[in-house]
Amino acid sequence: MKTLGKHWVRVGVCAIPLVCAACSTTGTAVGELEQPASKGAKEVVTLVWKSDASEPLRGTISGTLPDGSRYSGRYFEVVRTADADIYAPAWEGWPRYWSGWIVPGYAGPVRDLDWAGFVNIYTGRVIANLKSADPKQQMRCRFSIDRPREGLLGGGVGDCQLSNGERINHVVLAPA
Q: What is residue 5's predicted lDDT score, i.e. its pLDDT?
A: 45
The DSSP 8-state label assigned to residue 103 in this structure reads: P
pLDDT band (50, 70, 90) for residue 90? confident
Widest CA span in the chain: 76
pLDDT tens digits, residue range 97-156? 777 777 776 766 677 778 888 888 888 889 999 999 998 899 999 999 998 888 888 899
- Strand runs (DSSP E) across the chain, as ranges? 26-34, 42-51, 58-64, 70-77, 125-132, 138-145, 156-162, 167-175
Residues 6+ apart with CB under 8 A from 153: 25, 27, 51, 56, 175
Q: What is residue 130's predicted lDDT score, i.e. its pLDDT?
A: 96
Estimate to the nearest angstrom the gap between the alpha carbon of 83 and the chain centroid: 18
Contact 36, 14 (CB under 8 A): no
pLDDT tens digits, residue range 40-69? 678 999 999 999 998 888 999 999 999 999
